[in-house]
Amino acid sequence: MSAVRCYIGLGSNLGDPLANLHSAIAHLAASPGITLRGVSRFYTSKPMGPQDQPDYVNAVAALDTELGAHAVLQVLFSVERAHGRVRDAALRWGARTLDLDLLLYGNARIADADLCVPHPGICERSFVVLPLLELMPGGVLPNGKAVRDCREALACDDLYPLR
């Protein structure tokens, strides 16, 4: 299998969010079958859902991998667990030490019980679109929509760059 470019959304709002994201990126880069190709700037954003939690720090990472999409998802879960993340469906919009989402896996479209790629919220979340645009300025989603068009549809005034 040849390498596939994928994009990972990263978020954290518990503990030391900056350290959590840096550590997660290092874990991903050290994972067998994965080559880190780039990381966007880090941004702070208001949480989705309940507002009685700390602001998030978000970024997007570009990876090349020879792993299948479901294997990449398992790597993401492993990195989350290493950072103290416990997935609980009842706390879907709650605070977390680390949240890793497989946003794009090449041009694949996957929809099964375990994985939905492209991530269904890409174009609705400024904390995903703006960093994604940094990494793929001329990028087009598998549905044919340009990432730049997603950006133009969002205010993105709720994001503040950290670096």
Which H, E and C letters describe the chain, residue by residue?
A: CCCEEEEEEEEECCCCHHHHHHHHHHHHHHCCCEEEEEECCCEEECCCCCCCCCCEEEEEEEEEECCCHHHHHHHHHHHHHHCCCCCCHHHCCCCCCCEEEEEEECCCCEECCCCEECCCCHHHCHHHHHHHHHHCCCCECCCCCEHHHHHHCCCCCCCEECC
Catalytic residue among 87, 96, 109, 114: 96
Catalytic residue among 99, 109, 149, 151: 99
Residue ranges per domain, the chain? Answer: 4-161
Q: Is the pTM of this model over 0.75?
A: yes
Pick the CATH number of 4-161 from 3.10.129.10, 3.30.70.560, 3.40.50.300, 3.40.50.720: 3.30.70.560
- Per-residue model confidence as pLDDT tens digits over 115-142: 999 998 899 999 999 999 999 999 999 9
Catalytic residue among 55, 101, 112, 157: 101
125 is catalytic: no
Please tell me the predicted confidence (pLDDT) of residue 31.
Answer: 97
96 is catalytic: yes
- Per-residue model confidence as pLDDT tens digits over 40-92: 999 999 988 777 789 999 999 999 999 999 999 999 999 999 998 776 655 66
